[in-house]
Structure 1
Amino acid sequence: MKIIIAPDSFKGSLSARQLCEAIEIGIHNVEPDAEVISIPLADGGEGTVESLVMATGGQLHQTVVQNPLGNLVQAHFGVLDDGVTAVIEMAQASGLPLISAQDRNPLITTTYGTGQLIRHALDLGFRRFIVGIGGSATNDGGAGMLQALGVRLADSSGNELPRGGQALNRLARIDSSGMDPRVHESTFVIASDVTNPLCGPNGASAVFGPQKGATPFMVSVLDKALSRYADVIAQTTGTNIIDVPGAGAAGGMGAALLAFLGAQMCSGIQLVLEAVRFSEKIQGADLLITGEGKLDAQTLSGKTIAGVASLAKEHGVPVVALCGALELHPAELDQLGITAAFSILNRPATLLEAMRHAGTWTTQQTEQMIRLYRQIGVIR
């Protein structure tokens, strides 16, 4: 019996690696002799560095950067086994978990720390970058990152703007002449599965702003700010970024990377799946167990589970998904190629309680699932 475990994280409670461990315990409690291969995954957000470094036998580099509110935090970036490719995870420096719920304010949060991570990697000689841009607490269009790399954003009086998305409403000029020249010696690949444009009803502020603490009024302010930002980017670079798919990823970080760093957009989950040699490892498997915190409409748009299920289908391997919240209908699960999906919750619970017991409940739900599969003869 061969079972592949390939989940994303349960954000805020279990990393992808911890989720793999909880699922593996549940399998071996029922089938102690099962061959289990754990492949923790990510799609550009939290856990991307860990997944790629583990998959390639790379290394982590630690440093200190500013978090979204400007406080100093420990962060790391990864280096792949080729020794020349640095993997920057935006969530490490500008991620939502780095600030408490009551302090989340996308009007003022900044991506400055992500720029510091890039600069630190440049200092160490790296010139090839993969930048994972998920899980951010920011809505500043990547302006803070640009500021950390030497770009000057000024108002109509020539005064440099403070950090944060709201300040972009006063943006009049972008001066990139001071950008770290090593950026122009480098190549950047964006790992993201978000295709949202920068502005509008499907843009960064409207779709992702509320997750970062934005009220409806804040969403309106931030959307206008990013529209202004796009206008000045067009004046500065000749690039009309506002409607480019993916420009709205991570609060508009996609726009800055595309317009100023010459980045190439790449599917985050496909990049990770190739790095971990997923197609090779899934051959001959009897079952694949995946999962993420919530199965919803965003799952359908190309997140981790969609990528995993697509490859599993090619190899004829049934897929079961575990999650905290299940919001997809059976027809949508069929669309993804998922045989069945189960919430790990075993009773009514608050979000905090569910997060606290996520590991134990995942193990228990896995045990029940494997018992059922064994009883009906799917697993022998």
Structure 2
Amino acid sequence: MSRVPVVVLAPDKFKGSLSAPEVAEALRRGISRRAPKAQVRCVPVADGGDGMVDAFVASGWTRVEVEAPGPTGEPSTAVYAVRGDTAVVELAVAVGLVKLPGGRLDPLRADTFGLGVVIAHALDAGAREIVIGLGGSASTDGGSGLLRALGLRLLDQQGVELAGYGDVSAMLEQVVSVDRGGLHPAVSTARFTLACDVDNPLLGPAGAVAVYAPQKGATARQMTKLEAGLTNWAAVLGTGYAEIGGAGAAGGTGFGALAVLGAQVRSGIDVLLELLEFTALLDEATLVVTGEGSLDHQSMHGKAPVGVAAAAKRARVPVIAAVGRTLLSSGEIRAAGFAACYPLSDLEPDPARSISAAAELLERIGERIAVEHL
């Protein structure tokens, strides 16, 4: 009697089209149509950016909703995922670009205060392992807003406390010292992990401002101001932290968390796979299917599909990529650990139609995978 195939579906989101759970479900429908006896397990993933909380909720973690100000202070809500004493918090769903009112970029006013509100809520609820997914940031505040929400006081030369939702760059330039006495009491006993897929330092040509501020709407003049503010902020909290890879993540949020919370920077996909006990899921697996909207050279640097492929390779389980498009050669795809790659663009070369019909196309890809690999 032949063994019943076990397929683990572990895709990331198709940005601008489908969430990771939606991608997994579309693939599942296609596979089940052609291989009805196959056991299909959906484990959507993320690399630390937007979609991370959704991935954990889809895997059975508890979804918690909390009122928290958006990136420019407007009342809003955010969510995090929790299991036991571990909470997964996502910057994007609290203070990310997607939370800007009307989508209007505001590079000097946006900050991370709302993210700190979410973290404080998780700490109040008993979480002591806090995983912070960094990505999709709207701000360049060096994590100062996050830290103020957790009780850090930023003081100017006269000892006056500085507040947010003004010009972030000006505020950071005025900071002379900080008072840690009012930090949330659980900060000293909690462990903070930064899940991110970038290794930028805080300052300089590869730093938070130079690389990411233009995406947040900053002009050349505003970038000069933001760099000056972060430079002073680094001098106050410790320039050594500014040089750590990942300090520049999410507009320098990584730096603030490293310097004050004692956070550790880790690959987002590695953290996710570990917490979801992904290796154990592979024990009985026949095949793994992963993917994302675009499989390209950037994917090789910490993106979710390559992390999934590496885990599958260690478990000696073949892995296939189902993607919106790929810019990699067949040799590069094999070198990344994929036995095959199925781009939606092969079925629908028009990008707009490929995006709008992604679910249907993924079902067809699922059918092909079932016929050709199961």
Note whether the superposition's TM-score is higher than 0.5.
yes
Q: 1:370 to 1:99 in 2, by over 3 A?
A: farther
2:333 match: 333
Q: 1:314 to 1:180 in 2, by over 3 A?
A: closer
Q: 1:326 to 1:208 in 2, by over 3 A?
A: farther
Structure 2 contact 43–58 (Cα < 8 Å) conserved: no
What is the SS of the residue equivalent to 2:292? strand
Residue deviations 1:64-106, cap 9 Å, x none? 11111212222122221xx222222222211222236740233
- The one-letter amino acid of 1:261's match is L
Structure 1 contact 65–117 (Cα < 8 Å) conserved: yes
1:180 match: 184
1:78 match: 81
2:282 match: 282
Structure 2 contact 294–326 (Cα < 8 Å) conserved: yes
- The one-letter amino acid of 1:105's match is D
1:147 match: 148
1:59 match: 62
C-alpha displacement at 1:141, in angstroms? 1.3
2:295 match: 295
Structure 1 contact 109–165 (Cα < 8 Å) conserved: yes
**Distance across 1 between alignment mates of 2:203 and 2:336:** 28
- Is 66-75 or 292-301 further displaced after alignment? 292-301
C-alpha displacement at 1:340, in angstroms? 3.0
Structure 1 contact 291–321 (Cα < 8 Å) conserved: yes
1:308 match: 308
Q: What aligned pairs does 1:117-196 form with structure 2 within 5 A after superposition?
A: 117-156=118-157, 158=160, 160-163=162-165, 165-168=168-171, 170-177=173-180, 178-196=182-200
Residue 21 (structure 1) aligned to one of 2, 20, 25: 25
C-alpha displacement at 1:215, in angstroms? 4.6
Structure 1 contact 68–94 (Cα < 8 Å) conserved: yes
- Alignment TM-score, normalising by the size of structure 2: 0.87
2:207 match: 203
List runs of 5+ in structure 1 lacking aligned partners.
none
Q: 1:71 to 1:308 in 2, by over 3 A?
A: same
RMSD after superposition: 2.5
2:351 match: 349
- The one-letter amino acid of 1:140's match is D
Structure 1 contact 161–171 (Cα < 8 Å) conserved: no
**Distance across 2 between alignment mates of 1:102 and 1:51:** 24
**Distance across 1 between alignment mates of 2:174 and 2:147:** 14
- The one-letter amino acid of 1:7's match is P
Structure 1 contact 141–165 (Cα < 8 Å) conserved: no
**Distance across 1 between alignment mates of 2:101 and 2:14:** 17
- The one-letter amino acid of 1:132's match is G
C-alpha displacement at 1:244, in angstroms? 0.5
What is the SS of the residue equivalent to 2:7? strand
2:216 match: 212
**Distance across 1 between alignment mates of 2:321 and 2:200:** 25
2:52 match: 48
Structure 1 contact 155–161 (Cα < 8 Å) conserved: no
**Distance across 2 between alignment mates of 1:279 and 1:107:** 43
List runs of 5+ in structure 2 lacking aligned partners.
none
Between the aligned residues of both structures, percent identity stands at 39
**Distance across 2 between alignment mates of 1:72 and 1:245:** 33
**Distance across 2 between alignment mates of 1:332 and 1:202:** 26
What is the SS of the residue equivalent to 1:342? strand
- Is 323-332 or 69-78 further displaced after alignment? 323-332
C-alpha displacement at 1:29, in angstroms? 2.7
**Distance across 2 between alignment mates of 1:355 and 1:140:** 34
Q: 1:25 to 1:128 in 2, by over 3 A?
A: same
- The one-letter amino acid of 1:184's match is S
- Alignment TM-score, normalising by the size of structure 1: 0.86
C-alpha displacement at 1:206, in angstroms? 2.7
1:232 match: 236
Structure 1 contact 140–166 (Cα < 8 Å) conserved: yes
2:226 match: 222
C-alpha displacement at 1:41, in angstroms? 1.1
What is the SS of the residue equivalent to 1:146? helix
Q: What aligned pairs does 1:230-269 form with structure 2 within 5 A after superposition?
A: 230-234=234-238, 240-269=240-269
- The one-letter amino acid of 1:98's match is K
**Distance across 2 between alignment mates of 1:25 and 1:314:** 28
**Distance across 1 between alignment mates of 2:16 and 2:126:** 33
**Distance across 2 between alignment mates of 1:307 and 1:53:** 20
C-alpha displacement at 1:256, in angstroms? 0.8
1:323 match: 323
